Structures are given as C-alpha cells and as structure tokens.
Chains A and B, each alone.
Chain A
Amino acid sequence: MTHNGISRYSMEIATALLTGAIGLAICYGAWQVGTGWTPSGPDSGYFPFWIGVLVVAGSLVNLLRTVIGHRHKDEVFLDAVRLRSLARFTLPIIGFAVISLLLGLYVGTTLYVLFAMRLQGHYAWWKSLASGIAISVCFYLLFELVFQVPLLKGPLEHAFGIY
C-alpha cells in the first residue's frame, strides 16, 4: 500500500504470483494422472504438465521483470475513491450469486437489481423494486415462454407452483 492506494507494482507482483500458483497447480494435477509415456502414446498429464511449466516460466519472467526492472513503481493501481465504487459494484454481484444459489435466479435478479440500483444510483426504494420485478418478469417471458429454456428456480417459485 502506498499513501494514495494500492500501487501497480504490488499488483503486478501479486498477479504474477497468482498465475504462477495456478501454473504449479496445473503441473501437480498433471503429475497426479501421469506425465510420461504409455503404450498408446503420451499420458493424459503429458500435455497439461508442459503447459503448466510454461505458465510458471512466464509468471517468473513477469515477476522478475517487475522486481528487477522496478517497473510501475509509482503507478497507482487503485485509489480509495475507485475502490469504493468498485466495491459498490462487485459486492452486490457476490450477493447475487449466493442468493441465486439459495432462492433461484428470479428472486436473485429482483433483489440484486433492487440493491444495485440503491447502492450505485441512490434510486428510491419503490423505483428500484419495480425495476427488479420488471426485469425478472421480462426474463421469465423471454426465457421460459419464448425460448423455452428453464432458469434456476427456488422455493418461492415452487410455493407458487411454477416449474
């Protein structure tokens, strides 16, 4: 952390470490199923293993380029103001995913639009709720009736007998 937010330097390092870790996980997963040679050709893990090695190698280069070259040292990745607007956008999305799992996509959509409009646009309760319900109804008409692809439903729809 620098005085005015997260520096790009630290994020470059964090991302290189993240991709490197994914690369190691790929190598480990590939090693589990075998990376060698079988009578019928290369084993299942042969191809992914070398892909994983390349991911790790690329991540190492990215890490060293940043650290040794002192790249992006003075650049700001995210400051407090931007972090707040980003949080107002992303937190409702995570909530949306959780509620959709428990109550289905229709209830999830209604609640998500309601809270996202309140948080991001400071709209009145009734306007946000009306938009949420309107969008859910549109989804129902479009997907269930026009395209006939069922979306995820929860206990509420079951209570009303909608399947």
Chain B
Amino acid sequence: MNNLSLLMDGFATILTWNHLMIMVIGVMLGMLVGVLPGLGAPNGVSLLLPLTFTMDPVSAIILLSCMYWGALFGGSTTSILFNIPGEPSSVATTFDGYPMARNGEATRALTLAFMSAGLGALAGVVMITLLANWVAQFGLKFSSPEYFAVYFLAFCSFIGMSSSAPSKTLVSMMLGLAFATVGMDSVSGGLRLTFGIPDLVKGISFLVAVMGLFGIAELMVTTEEGLSFNGIKSRIRIKDILRTMAELPRYWVSLVRSILIGIWMGITPAGPTAASFMSHGLAKRFSRHPERFGKGEPNGIVSPEAADHSAGTSALLPMLALGVPGSATAAVMMGGLMIWGLTPGPMLFITRPDFVWGLIASMYLGNVVAVILVLATVPLYASILRVPFAIIGPVIVAVIFTGVYQVANSTFDFWLLLCFALLGYLFKKLDYPVAPLVLTMVLGHRAEEAFRQSMVMSDGSLTIFWSNSLVTTIMGLGALMLVWPLISKLVGLRGWRQRLHRQKPGDHKPSTPDSRA
C-alpha cells in the first residue's frame, strides 16, 4: 500500500497546530464568502490568493482548499434557509431543502445536507487517494501533443456538456484564451496584443478577471433583482442533529448513486453544478414517490448535496495529476500553484510529494472540520444575511477593489476590473457561461506552449495530433464531446439538461447553473 504510506506522510506534514488553525480560518472564511451574495468560492479564493504569496505552499494550499470546502457548505446553508443558492452548484438543493425548512424542519434539512455533503466529499478524497498516483504515472507518458490533446478534450467538453448555446460557450472560452496571450510571449520573449498600452505589458491577470466576472457582475445582477432575504429562523438542537444522522443510512441508494455521478462529473470537467442537477433529477426519476419531490423530500436534499461535494473534491484530481482543473475554483487554485512556483501535473508527485499528499490529507481533515464548524455556526452565518444589502454590497465592492490592487499594485487593473464586470454582467444576463473563460485564461499559456512545441516537433504539420494511439484516442474523445449535444439529442438523453434549463430560479439570485463554481 504505497499510497497509504504516502497519505500517512501527508498527515504527518499537516498535523500541526499551525495548519489546524489555518484550516479553521479557511473554512470560516469560506463559509462567509459562500453565504454572502456576489462572493462565491472562485472569488473568495482569488481574493485570498495575493495574501498567500509569501506563505509556504503547503499552508497556502490548505488555506485555499479549506476555503473551497467552507464555501460549498455556506452555499448550501443559504439554499436551505433563504431559498437563495449561495453558489451556483447549490441551486438544486433549494428544490427540496427550502420546503423542508419551511415545514419547520430546518435542523433536519441542514443536517441531511451537511452530512451527505461530507460523505460525498470523503468519497471524492478516497477516490483521489487511490487513483492519484496511477493517473500521475499515466500522465508521465504525455509529451506536448498529448498535453495539447488533453486541453482540447477539456475545451470540447465545455462545449458538449454546457447547457448554454455552443456558440456562446465557444466565444466565452476563446476570449479567455485570447486574454491569456496578452503581454509577453513566453516562447519568443516579444510583446503582443498590447496595442501600445504600457500597462498591458504585464498581461491580464486571471484574478482580476475572476473578481470582475464573478464578483462585481454577480452583485450587479443581485442589486438589479432588488434582493430581499426572507430567512427561516433556525435553532440548531443537538438532539435533532443526532436523530437525523440516525436516519441517514436509509438513503444509502441515493447516496451511492449521487457520489458516483459526482465523482464522474468532477473528473470530467462537467463540474459540480451539472452533477447536482443530474443527481437530483435521477433521484426523482428512480423514486417510488416522485410526487414528493419539491415538497421537502429527504432524498431530494441528500442527492444534490452528495453529488455537489464529491464533484467539488474530485475536480482536484485532474488539476493535481494532469494540470487540467475540473472547475473554476480549481482553476484559480491551479493559478495559485503556478504563482507559488509549483508546476501542476505529474512531475509534482515526484518533486513535491509533501505538497501533494499534504493537500490530500488536509482534504480528509478539512471536510471533517467543515462539517463540525458549519453545524456549530449556522445561526451566526444566517444572521449575516439579515444585514441590509445596502451595507453589505458596498463592503464587498471595497474588499474586491483592495483585492484587485494587491494582485499587481496596479491602478490600471481597476479599469480592467470594471470592463470584466460589464462583460460578466452581459454574459450572465444573456446565458453565456462564464466559468470556461476563467478556465481557459488559466490554461491559456500551457495550452499554447503545448501547441507550439507540438508544431515544432512536427515541423508545422497538424498530423502530429493523430500520430500515435494515445494522442489519437484523446483527440477522438474531444471530437466526440464536441458532437455530444447532437448524439444525446438522438439518443434522447436530454432530459436532465432541459430540467436544468427549466428550474433556473428566475425570481431569486440568478445563478446560471452551468457556471461551474
């Protein structure tokens, strides 16, 4: 059991008071950004990233990943108590979570959600523990053409799996790739796409883009909706928590199904949002009492939550082992890794095993810490949402501006932020997906480098992308993903995608379900 001993080493790395404290801080901050409108996991991680530049990478990744878990839990809290999904991926939790809370069973709904989410996350980490080394070994066989093929596959899956129009996904994705190329060309050293503006020489930071697209834009949509919070008062009683835990084994079928869906959708870049919708849809289809769904059915809470969190954790496997993030938040974290001087991908398992296995070990512990903390502090976080938006909104904007300034100490980034905010606002209201833009912005350099190196290897011939069985298979999978909407239409698998469209909560916080948080 090589993996097990590596995992034990990881635990040895992280089991210090210092790291435990970072975990608690990360989870608490994560819950805060998960609860607050306009601040989600990608944004929270982006805001925190500049503060980690001087930290050692192990502490930094623990802080950021724990913030991610906290944000996922915070998002479920507002879904259940306020009918407002704090994260796009917790939209499906509102379907049954809010009705159950309204029926006076808020504690039961919250406990069901948190426990199944915790189990889902643990299953995801177990999967990572077992598969990480194997995937990394596999990744070591890759050279430039294979890497470009993997990126091609990821880009194609966006187009194939997204619920938006394929042409809109394409535009969003390609804009991200283009923004990544602005500034210094890392291969030739020359400048490009700067249009004579000296501030563009340093390039466009993906952090600024995330804060504009996810932060300010989300707040703009929120203010426009004239959001008012009508929360359900909740008192958490230990007795109710224990009783709900005892009934959890009854939903094991839903749990297992949802976890499998979540892991699959997390590794392929379909993301947690699609996973939670699909899982809720399938739970209803296989249920003996489908009419109970939407009225507070426990299976309707367990399924999306378990899928959401197992997908959220699983999304870190391709990021770590191959350097291809499975969600927007994973993309931001991967950007962080590169800033700290680490190269995500199979070599990381050889050069920095302490980092990789420390992160994996912290995922076990972080999720346990998160479940306990979230149960203990729900009333506190729920009270934050009762502060009027006219106070919270400006504070969030000011925090985002300070965050943007810290990225590069540049005031030009303020204007970039406003441009991205406008773009994000238009995209959100017109059903363009935003997450692909961020992912391609982080991946842009690596994708281009892989492409150019392949071209050099083949002397400019595109045939290198089907020159051996491995690269041909990956490219073929990519092409398959590209035409997947057509295929699924023919086979009649479009049920859950239509459901995804129909159940968009138009009168609440408008979250495009396909923005993979």
Contacts and interface: CB of A to CB of B under 8 A. Distances in A.
B192 A93 contact: no
A151 to B, nearest CB: 6
A30 B193 contact: yes
B228 interface: no
A47 interface: yes
Contacts of B432: 15
Given A11-B429, A93-B418, A113-B395, A41 B452 contact: yes
A65 B165 contact: yes
Interface string B417-446: 110010000110110100000000000000
Nearest to A86: B224
B185 A116 contact: no
Contacts of A163: none
Interface string A44-74: 1111100110110111011001000000000
Interface string B150-187: 00000000000000010110110011011001000101
Q: Most A CB atoms within 10 A — which of B193, B395, B411?
A: B193
Contacts of B51: 147, 149
Interface string B179-202: 001000101101111110000000
A58 B170 CA distance: 6
B398 A139 contact: yes
A40 to B, nearest CB: 7
* Main SS class of interface, B: helix
A44 to B, nearest CB: 4
B401 interface: yes
B142 interface: no
A149 to B, nearest CB: 6
A101 B411 contact: yes
A32 B193 CA distance: 8
B473 to A, nearest CB: 24
A116 B393 contact: yes
Contact of B188 (A44, A77, A96, A117): A44
B484 interface: no
Contacts, number: 172
B170 A54 contact: yes
Contacts of A40: 188, 456
Given A40-B456, A62-B168, A100-B414, A117 B390 contact: yes
Contacts of A82: 224, 226
B449 to A, nearest CB: 9
B223 interface: yes
Contacts of B429: 8, 11, 77
Interface residues of B, number: 59
A58 B401 CA distance: 32
A59 B391 CA distance: 38
B402 A61 contact: no
Contacts of B460: 37, 41-42
A147 B430 CA distance: 39
Interface in A21-47: 22-23, 25-26, 29-30, 32-33, 37, 40-47
A125 interface: no
B496 interface: no
B313 to A, nearest CB: 28
A151 B402 contact: yes
A151 B398 CA distance: 12
A45 B192 contact: yes
B388 interface: yes
Interface string B396-407: 011001100110
A135 B398 contact: yes
Nearest to B460: A37
Interface in B224-243: 224, 226
B167 A58 contact: yes
A7 to B, nearest CB: 12
A52 B178 contact: yes
Given A30-B193, A86-B220, 13 more contacts: A12-B430, A25-B195, A26-B178, A41-B455, A48-B181, A51-B174, A51-B178, A62-B167, A105-B402, A116-B393, A120-B223, A131-B391, A152-B409
Interface of B: 50-51, 165, 167-168, 170-171, 174-175, 177-178, 181, 185, 187-188, 190-195, 216, 219-220, 223-224, 226, 388-391, 393-395, 397-398, 401-402, 405-406, 409, 411, 414-415, 417-418, 421, 426-427, 429-430, 432, 448, 451-453, 455-456, 460
17 contacts: A15-B426, A19-B175, A29-B193, A33-B193, A41-B456, A48-B178, A51-B181, A55-B171, A58-B167, A58-B170, A61-B167, A89-B223, A90-B220, A97-B418, A100-B411, A120-B393, A121-B388
Closest A-B pairs by Cβ, 3 of them: A121-B390, A116-B394, A61-B167
